[in-house]
Structure 1
Amino acid sequence: MRRRFPIFSIGRLYCTGNAEAAPQLSIDLIKIMDQRLSAIENRNAHLERFLDQEIKELKSVISDCQDDKDMQQMASEELSEATEGEKKFQFLLLKSLLPKDDADERDCILEVRAGTGGEEASLFAMDIFKMYEKYSVKKGWKYEVLETAESDLKGYKEAIASISGAGVYGKLKFESGIHRVQRVPVTEKGGRVHTSAVSVAILPQADQDRSTGQTIGIGYESQGLYYLTSSNSLIACSVTDSLDVIHKRLGHPSLSKLQKMVPSLSGLSTLDCESCQLGKHTRATFSRSTEGRSESIFSFLHSDILGPSRVSSPLGFRYFVSFIDDYFRCTWVFLMKDRSELFSIFKGFFAEIQNQFGVSIRTFHSDNALEYLSSQFQEFMSHHGIIHQKSCPYTSIKWCRRKKE
């Protein structure tokens, strides 16, 4: 059996002759409440007539005319119409119980965003967005697309529109929420059912100043920013906070941009903001004199150890050490199985330079790795008169040069 809403029993919630209630309610408010309750009672009485008379009579006709098929068909059709009328008056009755919203007569902003479902959700969001467009055209409303973000399949990840007309927000405000659909989309080749969801937001356009009631602009929100839809709106900014607070709230703009956003500050000559000054400071550069090359080969040598590598060589090498001549930037690379092999490799490289080029290393530059600071390494350099320069991390230009090479 079809389930119906219960009949509302409406009774007077107040009495104008009650001496205790009279001081609490004004005469105008009592008149408004009386008008609203009268309208609700009339609709409730109409709904009762549907339930008690038409629907019961039609059901009785259907049960009595078992042999007359034509009469049963006519009664069934009238019963369907009466049932639809019942639903209509139930909706009007519930709507009468809702409080009046001052924003019902305003225009609105429609925001549709794709949710769960990937590309199929973006296609569903596009269908929803176009559905509201066709509905607005049917109602004679002005529908203006403000912003769309398309997906790879030309669906809508996000779409925003402005809808203007008489009582638009009051008619569409209950559309806000999550809309879900299950279907086999055209993008599915295996016939599987996809579940897609989109979010719909209906927002009233707050186009008036609360204090003055004047229209200051019409806009919409997108990704945390507010955009004006009318270019000829007169935007006024009344400054009531301190200059420091305004400057911080607007995102620390420069003085010229701040004066454009807040015309009342046009006479300001300086803007003292410590955060802006510190944020624009840059690190002092090193002197270019340190970037010059050495005057002879092997007078200055750079070295660095890299590893361990995640993948070992076929012979088991996981580290390598590099020696770079500062004069002509020639690089020697030696493979190592362990970092402790550095000292023996350096002694062999030092002997090779002396025998092949007839020169000695004057200055040796490295970082503070423990292999370079071992006692054997330090005694060897002291014995051959090699100056060992060690760089602090992330400061030496020559150390950075060695890393790049």
Structure 2
Amino acid sequence: MKRFKLIAVVLFIPFIICLIVYSNGGKKMNAKSKLVFFELGSKGNSTLVETIDDKGNPIYGIIDGGKPINYTKQIEPYLTENKISKIHFIIVSHMHDDHVGGIDKLLQSDFVNNETTIYLKLTPKSEHLTNYAKLKEMNIGVIEPLSVPDNIKTNNEVMSSPDSIFQTQIKYYSKADGDYANANMSSNISFGEFTITIYNGINWNTHDVVNEDWDENVNSLTCLLERKNSKDDMQRVYLSADLGENSGENSTDGRKQYSMVIGERISQIVGQVDIYQVAHHGFYFSMNEETARNLNFKYAVVTNSYNEIAYKGIAKFQKKYPSISETEALDIGTNTLKALFSSEHLVKILFADGENYGTGPTAYELIKELQPSNRYVLTRKDGYIKNGNITVELESDITVSQ
């Protein structure tokens, strides 16, 4: 009988140890965390972040919210169907409608309350969000640069600026802390298994490198999400929002491609990642080969539609340059996608909306234009690119599915 009790105790100990490891609240738990990149149709960004708290309960955050119609048709139904009742944090990358429109709707919902924190860059365009957050007594995380630069005028000045200009600090304000009068400081966001670091806290429209005050893409906050797996390896996901879009493509001076250059400079600081959400949805003139080499990603997530990239690219550049052929126009229109192949670790490119519209080249033919082999692109059996929500599951290994 004593021998039987001894065996039972020995067998029971590993089970207890497993429970302790799972529930210890540390970053090395072998529990599931994941990201869902929503398929929003033509273009737009919204990413759901799921992890667990120190008691093993699931917690959720949203980075951008697409357009208002995307919240109604894609995001809210997903939250409801998956029995997600609360969003614990919201990050607003910038104030374009295809990123913040759905956030406006989310703030009006029961998914957020006074325990939700909204993170954003404080500019005149974002003031209405902070006002609404205060009405709901939410917490507010204001993103600012670690150091404020002098006026930056050229690309060379962007590339030679210290890291601290692109790194950020977070000022936390709450209703409970002096009615939003006092702030607590932090260098990143701790969220379950994730550490989230935000870059690009500058309001670039106050600098001469940006000579068009309507531009908002260059103000995009970018997010690095990091998590240690059970093997103590760091898993890294980088979301670049719209930073990289080249609003200065026609410039002949040092302002040319300013947003792309800022994106490249930050990629030097971020370094190698596993997952890269491609700048400006994968549009042309959104990133360069240097950025791809710096990030050296395994998986690239394109949230734009094939129709936007291929057909509208062809139409735009043939109108702009009437003498070029359709093939040449496609070559220009897909320069961002081709830049992805500069990553030495590239395994797959995933299109949130890979459907083929119109009568021009199919998605499969587009990829043949980009690379002789289509092994880099997640396709259906018939060769067409897959479309739909892209799910990245982070456990001991990384699993990407669509």
TM-score bin, normalised by smaller chain: under 0.3
Larger relative helix fraction = 1
Greater RCO (Cα-Cα under 8 Å, separation 6 or more)? 2
Bigger radius of gyration? 1
